[in-house]
Structure 1
Amino acid sequence: MPIRRPHRNARTLRQTMPEAERRLWVRLRNKQLGGFRFRRQHTVGPYVADFACVDAMLIIECDGEQHGFDEFRAHDAKRDAFLRNEGWMVLRFWNSEIHDNMDGVLETILDAAENSTRFLTTKPDGGAG
């Protein structure tokens, strides 16, 4: 069984980003979205997330049409379950959605990041954490 090397794979993926990922990265990089810092091709366990905001424990995945096939859906479900078990929230967007509705995609991401950080910094008694 081959040894998985997600960090090496992440480096390659950063160099060969699909157009939708490139377009989204231009809008996420340099803390442009609500001051949140996103990383591209961030490794979590055996997986490489398209984008991740560690402070908000938020992962963004950009899905091409191949993710509509049963085998990809099953893999994505397994992957998402692992990531959620590790404490991450996962948002998936179709590449066409990124191309056709960038403002809506960014609004959804910002809302999730803001709500996630509120959850992460609030104690059960209502005080700040």
Structure 2
Amino acid sequence: MSSYHKLREKRLNLKLVKEPLCNYAKNLRRNQTPAEFKLWNLLRGRKLKGLKFRRQHPVKPLFILDFYCMKYKIAIEVDGGYHKKSVQTQVDIERTFLLNLLGIKVIRFTNEDVLENSGWVIQQIIDSCRK
């Protein structure tokens, strides 16, 4: 097989992984939780210190981040009640570890934090960008 064909095959394989992830991210953007909606309205349009955040941002090959600031490589995750279950907690720990290996810092907030104390959440995000 020529190097051209190998490269083409590699691109096709990446596309097969990327497209379902991107489609899933689009679906998540259309069906956000009330907490995600509220936080997005506080972050969108560079409202927070001029920082650009992405919503439901795919990170190859496995993850979709609730919110992501590329400049500081910070992921913001808004966790619902199911994240309190021991199995999901372990999954979140492993996911955070893998994202840290990619150089991405993960900040987690509960839905309640965002809905009831958004000022504190925003301050935590600002503080994380300063570090």
Q: TM-score, normalised by structure 1?
A: 0.84
Aligned length: 113
How many Å apart are 1:7 and its aligned residue?
1.0
Unaligned runs of 5+ in 1: 116-129
Between the aligned partners of 1:56 and 1:17, the Cα distance in structure 2 is 24
Aligned residue for 2:36, secondary structure, equals helix
Matched, 1:78 2:94: yes
Aligned residue for 2:130, secondary structure, equals helix
How many Å apart are 1:114 and its aligned residue?
2.7
Q: Which has the higher helix share?
A: 2
Between the aligned partners of 1:67 and 1:107, the Cα distance in structure 2 is 23
Between the aligned partners of 2:23 and 2:100, the Cα distance in structure 1 is 23
The RMSD of aligned alpha carbons is 1.1
Q: Structure 1 runs of 4+ off > 4 angstroms?
A: none
Unaligned runs of 5+ in 2: 1-15
Moved more, 71-80 or 10-19: 71-80
Aligned residue for 1:36, secondary structure, equals coil
Q: TM-score, normalised by structure 2?
A: 0.83
Between the aligned partners of 1:6 and 1:80, the Cα distance in structure 2 is 18
Structure number with greater Rg is 2
Matched, 1:18 2:33: yes
Between the aligned partners of 1:81 and 1:44, the Cα distance in structure 2 is 14
% identical equivalent positions? 33
